[in-house]
A = this chain, B = another copy of it.
Amino acid sequence: MKRIAIMTGGGDCPGLNAAIRAVVRVATNGFGYEVVGIQDGFEGLIENRSVPLAANNVRGILRVGGTILGSSNRTNPFRYNGPRGEHPETDASEEAFKNVSDLGIEALVVLGGDGTLLLAGQFADRYDIPMVGIPKTIDNDVRGSDYAIGFDTAVATVTDAVDKLHTTAESHHRVLFIETMGRTAGWIALYAGVAGGADVVLIPERAYNLDGIVNAIDARSSNGHRFTIAVVAEGVAAPSGGAVYKAKAGENHNWKLGGICQSLADVLDKRLDQEVRALVLGHLQRGGSPTPFDRALATQLGAKAVQTIADGGQNVVVGIQGLSVRTTPLREVTLGPRLVEDDHPMITAARQMGMYLG
């Protein structure tokens, strides 16, 4: 009987458990495989922490956020320095592979963002073990899939926050800057900004200037709207000396929690007649019960991952494209983050409606 392993890596996001459940149920029920769950991502692979996963172990987890397997952020098997960073860096990949062999694991299903998937691919290449990736990140910036697991739920959480803050901003005539996750790509800010009816949306992909924001707020005031909601991705460049601000691709200047919105609020408070406030949503965006969309997505991708292993796939990533579930070679997926393009229909719509997007 074939035995496969599943692990989750990187930051938490809703829908991981739904995907784990699908992988386990499809593998055991659909294909007669055994499944081993690796705990805490690469760390568990190196430290040899795992649990057998049967249908009963994934009961009731469909609607629960987080991952029953645990995760570890930024563990790199090729430069490993221990569970708490207590050792010097060393290549622990051989140790990891020994554990894989000892457990009789014939293939790996890896749930991760592009960082995790890249490392998993290097591991799979070096030790020649079939690996299928499932894209998961609230940032939604993985190539090869229209949506990554977790994104829809994060957008729902942020939109709910924008809805809640709307009435408060209106009652107190405030300008409110709401900071979302998104260091490199602005998907959350864009979708939640549009869905929440924000007046200003700033994302790392687009340059902006302070005058543009001030003009948008002034235009609202002229129309009798004494409040403004701005949704800003954390990776947006801070206003500094120059006139136009844009994050360079792959970089960000504001990763300190709460950086950019407080900066904007501080600068604009001096230029505006209205009270300006900043709010950082933080880790709320990573939690919560996955939306039905994310549960359905995670189920389809989990099933496809097992099917792909059965079909002999190696170093590919499953993804949804339109209504189809497809595989993409890992090397194409890891070419770089998937950014919001200028002609994305949401950008076009938002601009035509009169939102300020830079």
Residues of A at under 8 Å CB distance from B? Answer: 12, 14, 16, 22, 25-26, 29-31, 40, 55-56, 62-67, 70-73, 84, 146, 152, 155-157, 159, 161, 163-168, 170-173, 176, 191-192, 194-197, 223, 258, 273, 277, 279-280, 282-284, 286-288, 291-293, 295-296, 299-300, 302-304, 306-307, 321-325, 344-346, 348-354
* Copies of this chain, tallied across the complex: 4
Are A195 and B286 in contact, with the CB atoms below 8 A? no
Q: Across the interface, do B157 and A164 meet the contact criterion of CB distance under 8 Å? A: yes
Residue of B nearest to A320 (CB): B345
Closest to A277 in B: B283
**Known A66-B166, A66-B171, A307-B348; 12 more pairs at CB < 8 Å:** A12-B167, A12-B171, A31-B352, A84-B273, A146-B323, A159-B295, A167-B287, A168-B283, A299-B353, A304-B345, A306-B352, A322-B322
Hey, which chain B residues are within 8 Å of A350, CB to CB? 299
Chain B residues with CB below 8 A from A16, complex form: 171
The 3 A-B residue pairs with the shortest CB-CB distance, nearest first, are A66-B167, A30-B352, A164-B287
Taken together as a complex, chains A and B put the C-alpha atoms of A62 and B67 apart, in Å, by 19
User: With A and B bound together, what is the CA distance between A291 and B171 in angstroms?
Assistant: 19
Q: A321 contacts which chain B residues (CB < 8 A)?
A: 322
Provide the main secondary structure of the chain A interface: helix
Find chain B residues with CB under 8 A from A67 CB: 171
**Cα(A102)–Cα(B354), bound, Å:** 30
**Which of B171, B300, B349 is the one whose CB lies under 8 Å from A300?**
B349
A55 cross-chain contacts in B, Cβ below 8 A: 223, 354
Nearest CB in chain B to that of A24: its residue? B353
Contact partner, A352, options B12, B26, B71, Cβ 8 Å: B26
| Min distance, Cβ A207 to any Cβ of chain B, angstroms | 21
**16 pairs from A and B in contact (CB 8 Å cutoff):** A12-B167, A25-B353, A65-B164, A65-B168, A66-B171, A67-B171, A73-B172, A163-B288, A164-B287, A165-B283, A165-B287, A167-B288, A195-B292, A258-B258, A307-B348, A324-B345
Q: Which of B159, B296, B299 contacts A292 (CB 8 A)?
A: B159
A270 to chain B, nearest CB (A): 13
Are A349 and B22 within 8 A (Cβ)? Answer: yes
